[in-house]
Structure 1
Amino acid sequence: MNFPIYVIGHVNPDTDSIASAIGYAWLIKERDGLNVIPARSGAINPQTLWILRYLDIEPPHLLNDASPKFESVARRFDTTTPDKPLREAWAIASRTGGIAPVINPDGTPFGLVTGQSLFKLMSEYVGPNLEASDLKVNEILKLPSREASNKNVQKFKASTRIKDLLKKVLREEEDAFWVVDDEGKYLGIVRQRDILNPPRIKLILVDHNESQQAIASFEEAELLEILDHHKLGNPPTNRPIRFTVEPVGSTSTLVSEQISYAGLSAPPPIAALLMAGIISDTLNLISPTTTKRDSEAIKRLERWAFSGGSKLSGETADSLAEKVLSAGTGLSARRPKEIVTGDLKQYISGDIKFAVSQAEVSSLYELDEHIIKLKKALSDLRESKGFDFTVLMVTDVVKGSSRLLIDNQPAILEDLPFEPYPDGTFLAEGMVSRKKQLIPVIMSLLEV
């Protein structure tokens, strides 16, 4: 079976996470000819959704869990119908190791013809007297397949995790089971032995390398590669992998470089998407995380995206940036829970576990009418996830400053070097980067 490789970003994906997954999957297909699928682990935020629609790009495949599912072990055997002669089922069973699926006209399972069910039927017809048994066997094979079908066979949905039903399957006396889709239609057959060592999902991680930010059940997958621009926190692997972590402002920058190294140029929509990933992560190259390589990547992607003949011709990096950043701003269009969980990163310092979320606005004044509800959402997040404290960083992408909301603020953070407001928020002038500016300040206080 040619199982796909999934290129996937972190949970609660941002634009760079989605863009780098799509861009890197495209590169691997073009360069290596592999079966690669871009994926995501979570909902697409408003900014990214707007970009995908603007560029007419399909959203990545939703993959919420890396644990092997029944679809990965299902075998698609030839089938027959209940009214077809048993001889046809016999022929199928001879090719499949003793199993012939009998399917209703609507595609749902009717029953399985197996060696055991055939023996039972023949015993009834032939009986203890073996004289003229050849004639009787020939007559039996003319009977409809329904006569020898075992209809008491368990059905498992293709999307169900194997580990959730493993004990149940191993307790069954039968050896073969149906695998069906969400509508109950036949997809394949699975045997007990198939589920004991199912193939692991193959993953390439982009825009993250820490297991706590990875897809659920990540430890059950086969990790092939990591491409990232964040601090190290990578999980152990049982064999060497390709591991690329570079100090740039965006993983999309690294993808664009890899495309160039391969001697390729991305098609205009992919190039524009990667440009949007860089623009979003670096706030159009003004974030402290921005490097010379990010600026060079923007110029490279401009040539690919806006070349003559492209439907994007006439655009510029700046005009695209204006659209991208405005598409991602605003608090009114989202529920408070979505705002505090949409772009969330978890951190640990000693025994202290905390989370920092970030939301973008076009004016910090927009925060005022939402403070009470956002504080409640931060508190709910802290209690539900067991954090010691939670922070929301609301960033003005136009003026390049932020305001902070902190729930359950520890006493040690009273020394934060930011201007306190009467409403309990803090003004962080010139701060736009959670990674480069805010987290180092918080960590320096916690580690004293």
Structure 2
Amino acid sequence: MKTHEGRCFMPKAAHKVVVIGHRNPDTDSICSAIAYAELKNKTSDLVCEPRRAGKMNQETEFILKKFEVTPPRMCTDVNPKIRDVDYREMPGIPGSTSLRRAWQIMRDQTIDTLPVVSPDGELEGVITVKDIATANMDVFDTEVLAKSRTSYKNILETLGGTMVVGDENDVCVSGNVHIGTATPEMLESVVEKGDIVILTNRYESQLCAIEMEASLLIICNGAKVGRTIQRIAEETGVAIMTVPFDTYAAGKLISQCAPISYYMTRENILKFTLVTPVADVTRVMAKVRHRYFPILDEEGKYCGMISRRNIINLQKRRIILVDHNEATQAVEGFDQAEILEIIDHHRIGSLQTSGPVYFRNQPVGCTATIVTQMYDENGVEIRPQIAGLLLGAILSDTLMFRSPTCTKIDEAAARRLAQIAGVDIEEFAAEMFEAGEKLDGKTPEEVFMQDFKVFMCGDIRFGVAQGSYMTRSNLHAAQKLLTPYLEEARNKQNVEDIYMLLTDVPKQESVVICAGRYAGGLLTTGFNCEPEADGSWVLPGVVSRKKQFIPTIMGAYQEL
């Protein structure tokens, strides 16, 4: 662990593998992510964390609350951020650091930019090799120590000196620097009150400088200072230090004692945060000559430096996708991440990977059924909490075994999970569906986006949302709320057509409302039915978006 002024810099931990479902997540998407992340943590060397790509619906919230499971954290973007880069976690240096010491740090750490940081971690500025070179070239500025309020400590450190008279915590506040190798008579003509004088061991010159009320005498070659000179200096308030260098070397080094705060860049500092996208950083780096840039953490405190080389060595975020394999449904930035696995039960979609991945796709009614199988295959006991989540996902996706997507495998898994979770399937399903279809206080957008997915057919991009209802009155209430909103939703989601399936679970049919250029005509031709008087389409027996609605609509689009 590295520290600076009481502030800790812990080694940067490797990022967890994100297990995540599709955008606008449904119950299966979230519950399968939670369960699969736990399975991977128990059966592999990976450290996995379940995340969600959108807001949870009420049904999912009810299930997580019932089984006392903490909701996964939100993750809407897996584009690489600065936090994913192996940046340089070097501590900052205080503004009081001397130019000489700053240059030594740069030399030893092979870096040309140093962050200047306050004791509480605030970034105050940056100092570069160029700044130090500029300072060293300004040899005629004999007031630099006073103007920069250089501390005696800096002078002692830079010149390897020893304080003989005075306080090492004092600072230079006035005067010029003089090298007093001339006679006392010459000193009298150039030294003024408050000046700093670099001297040899000549008693007369030392006494003359004191009488001229110099503020500091720097005695070279490690010469001893007589007791009389020390006593007179103490009485007149003149500080004295001895250094091992000769007057030439001391004169060369004296300007390097100035604090870097005097020369550092304070304004318009190019800096990034841990959540700055790497793409943005790359664009900035391409426009400037700087090689290193400071990074701030979530609290706005300095935490490290980043360079072009760090960006080149970027390690992509690692993700596992569950319950989808469509590019249009995947979390933002998935194509910039390393996809390790895909666990799904939908048709094979448009998502592509840069390399081979573990892809498990089975024709069952729910991803949670596949995850349940994988627990069994790995000999891992399913905890009651996890069993409850998996059960809720299966009941949700299969509409409590009513959907044509439901298989005997789904039903068998659900009944076994119910025993582990200690719940009655009929009672649990009724509570779950009732929680999910409540409209109290919800906006049309919130209801519509509870389970919305985007699909592609050729160049046509369309969206399909679905809601399940146990009573016709709740279904009609949702229809009344959503019908005026569809055109706005179509524009917001940037789709050609948009559909909303309002599924009557007990009656096993769906009422469909739609908006868009082709939507109404495709419903009529695809399902061979006419619209109702209220502008909706009633599709008897259609309860599955995946197995019944999407294939038919896809076929209709292909015939356009």
The residue that corresponds to 2:449 in the other structure is 341
Alpha-carbon distance between aligned partners in 1 of 2:249 and 2:84, rounded to the nearest angstrom: 41
1:426 paired with 2:548, answer no
TM-score of the two chains, using structure 2 as the length reference? 0.70
Residues 380 and 142 of structure 1: is their aligned pair in 2 closer, same or farther, counting only changes over 3 Å?
Answer: same
The question of whether the paired residues in 1 share the 8 Å contact of 2:365 and 2:407 is answered with yes
Identify if the C-alpha distance between structure 1 residues 150 and 324 changes in structure 2 by more than 3 Å, giving closer, same or farther: same
Q: Give SS of 1:212's match.
A: coil
RMSD: 3.2
1:144 CA displacement: 5.3
Report the counterpart of residue 74 of structure 2 in structure 1: 62
Is the 2:99–2:132 contact (alpha carbons within 8 Å) kept by the matching residues of 1?
Answer: no
Query: Are the counterparts in 1 of residues 96 and 261 from structure 2 also a CA contact under 8 Å?
Result: yes
**Which of 13, 16, 32 is residue 4 of structure 1 equivalent to?**
16
CA distance in 2, matches of 1:176, 1:342: 44
Residue 248 (structure 1) shift: 0.9
For 1:305 and 1:142, the matched residues in 2 are separated by: 71
Q: Which amino acid in the other structure matches residue 444 of structure 2?
A: P
**Equivalent-residue separation in structure 2 for 1:17 and 1:233 (angstroms):** 16
Residues 188-197 or 32-41, more deviating: 188-197
Higher deviation after alignment, 58-67 or 9-18: 58-67
Say yes or no: does 1:176 pair with 2:188.
no
**For 1:211, what is the secondary structure of its paired residue?**
coil
Q: 1:307-322 residue pairs with structure 2 within 5 A?
A: 315-322=423-430
> Which runs of 5 or more residues in structure 2 are unaligned?
1-12, 143-178, 180-244
Structure 2 residue corresponding to 1:378, chosen from 482, 486, 491? 486
Query: Is the 2:24–2:453 Cα contact (8 Å) retained in structure 1?
Result: no
TM-score, structure 1 as length reference: 0.86
Moved more, 329-338 or 249-258: 329-338
1:336 counterpart letter in structure 2:
P
Which residue number corresponds to residue 414 of structure 1? 524
Aligned length: 440
Of 165-174 and 368-377, more deviation after overlay is shown by: 368-377
Whole-angstrom CA distance in 1 between matches of 2:365 and 2:432: 17
The equivalent of 2:505 in structure 1 is 397
Write the distance in 2 (CA, Å) between the matches of 1:319 and 1:197: 54
Residue 109 of structure 1 corresponds to: 123
Go from structure 1 to structure 2 and tell me whether the alpha carbon gap of 1:232 and 1:169 turns closer, same or farther (over 3 Å shift).
same
Q: Distance in 2 between matches of 1:402 and 1:20?
A: 26
Bigger mean CA deviation after superposition, 117-126 or 146-155? 117-126
Aligned equivalent of 1:263, options 364, 372, 379: 379
Aligned to 1:312: none
Separation (CA, whole Å) in 2 of partners of 1:283 and 1:94: 68
- Give the CA deviation at 1:276: 1.4
Kindly indicate whether residue 98 of structure 2 is the aligned counterpart of residue 82 of structure 1.
no
- Identify the match of residue 463 of structure 2 among 355, 373, 391: 355
**CA distance in 2 between partners of 1:400 and 1:301 (Å):** 25
Q: What is the SS of the residue equivalent to 1:297?
A: helix
Cα separation, 2, equivalents of 1:385 and 1:95: 54
Q: Distance in 2 between matches of 1:140 and 1:333?
A: 70
> Could you tell me which residue of structure 1 aligns to residue 261 of structure 2?
146
1:360 Cα shift? Answer: 2.2
- Shift in Å at residue 208 of structure 1? 0.6
Q: Percent identity?
A: 33
Counterpart residue number, 1:368: 476
Tell me, yes or no, if the aligned pair for 2:403 and 2:543 is still in contact at 8 Å.
yes
Consecutive unaligned residues in structure 1, runs of 5 or more = 307-314
Q: CA deviation at 1:216?
A: 1.5
What residue number does 2:48 align with? 36
**How far did 1:207 drift?**
0.5
User: Per-residue CA shift, 1:106-139, capped at 9, x if unaligned?
Assistant: 4321233554444455555899999657657987
Go from structure 1 to structure 2 and tell me whether the alpha carbon gap of 1:61 and 1:116 turns closer, same or farther (over 3 Å shift). Answer: farther
Q: What is the DSSP-based 3-state SS (H/G/I as helix, E as strand, rest coil) of the residue aligned with 1:213?
A: coil
Whether 1:47 aligns to 2:59 is yes
Distance across 2 between alignment mates of 1:89 and 1:258: 57
Determine helix, strand or coil for the equivalent of 2:328: helix
